[in-house]
Amino acid sequence: MAGRQSSHRPLIAGLTLAVLLLHWLALAWLERPWIEPSVLRALTSPMFTRTLTPSVAAAAPKPASARKARPARPAPATPSEASPIEPLAPLPAEAAIAAAPEPEAVLEEAALAAPTTPPQADAAPADNWPADTRLSYQARGVFRGPLWGDAQVQWQREGERYQVQLKVSFGWMARLSMTSQGRVTPTQLLPETFEEETTTARRHLEFTPQEIVLMNGSRLPRPEGVQDSASQFVALAQRFASAATPMAVGQSVQFWLARPGGADVWTYDVVEMETLATPHLGALQTFHLKPRPLANPRGPITAEMWFAPALQYLPVRIKVTLNDEAWVDLLVDKIEQSAAPGPSAKSPP
């Protein structure tokens, strides 16, 4: 009798697991109709025709000069101190690095001031934005147990329009996407819409020429150079690749980052040159950027990034830490690009 009961235990355990899984799928399906509709504008999927490989010429960046490090610039006040905003809970995969240009000789003190006029297209003739690009990552992490999955960061451009999208998936256990859309000028991205989506929720953020409209309807003055959690990946890579922001150990970068629950100034220090071993692109020399603690953090999340000069200064590793027992680490696996640069396409009116 005891042996017969023992033989039935795996069957009972399997049936129990199947019932729980069906309940979870049913609840997820029932929740979908109540998710807020998307505010994004559909763009044509880009065609990638080549795989990016490390450039020998850029593989060995020059070491930092021996100049004395400048004292850190005090962070400006948040956009609206008069009307405090109740922050929304941050998401686990919020890779919130943000940086503003800090020139070689002097600091541009006005870079973080909220503009009194709408942002205008830059007059500079140079346009150093990359062709349509997709970075594929291997993802691993820990959150109530080990996690394995994949992730992508995709940049595409149609004339003066752009889209940056981050997708992270750990199978049926968890997924996250963040999308930024807006205008592109020769030297900067001007976000207009940001949206993030998980399995059961969708949140968004709107940018007008002079304001940031948060998820709860509150409005903040729009700081110059503000980015969102998706656009900042490409904005940083372009600044580093075009030398608008010098890359050297001991330097720091800073700018406003807007999220559905508010906006903050983030400062990242270039702490070291580090060689990363990647699965298919070999050993890559990278600049390792680490964030300074926020004065008034909206949560415990911190993010580190590694940019590779040999790969157009693209972010080849991203690590997001929630606490000592929860983190997500993305390591580049493949980089694809289109043959022609994005501005060749004309965006519809």
Q: Token pair of 250, please? A: 């001991």
- Per residue in 43-97, pLDDT tens? 777 888 899 999 865 655 554 443 344 444 444 444 444 333 233 333 333 333 2
For residue 332, the model assigns a pLDDT of 97
For residue 64, the model assigns a pLDDT of 45
For residue 231, the model assigns a pLDDT of 93
Contact 54, 280 (CB under 8 A): no
Backbone angles phi, psi at 238, to 5 degrees: -70, -40
For residue 88, the model assigns a pLDDT of 30
Task: Determine the residue type at 305.
Answer: M
For residue 327, the model assigns a pLDDT of 86
For residue 106, the model assigns a pLDDT of 25
Q: Token pair of 136, please? A: 């594929």
Helix, coil or strand: residue 157: strand
Block means of pLDDT (10 residues each) for the chain, 349 residues, are 57 52 46 55 80 74 45 46 34 33 32 39 58 95 88 93 92 85 94 88 92 94 94 92 89 91 91 95 96 75 89 93 82 91 45
Backbone angles phi, psi at 13, to 5 degrees: -65, -40
Contact 76, 294 (CB under 8 A): no
Contact 236, 307 (CB under 8 A): yes
Q: Token match 């235990």: residue?
A: 9
For residue 170, the model assigns a pLDDT of 86
Q: How distant, in Å, are the alpha carbons of 60, 94, 223, 289, 347 from that of 98?
A: 25, 12, 13, 11, 28
For residue 314, the model assigns a pLDDT of 96
Please report which helix (H) or strand (E) contains residue 217, including its range.
none
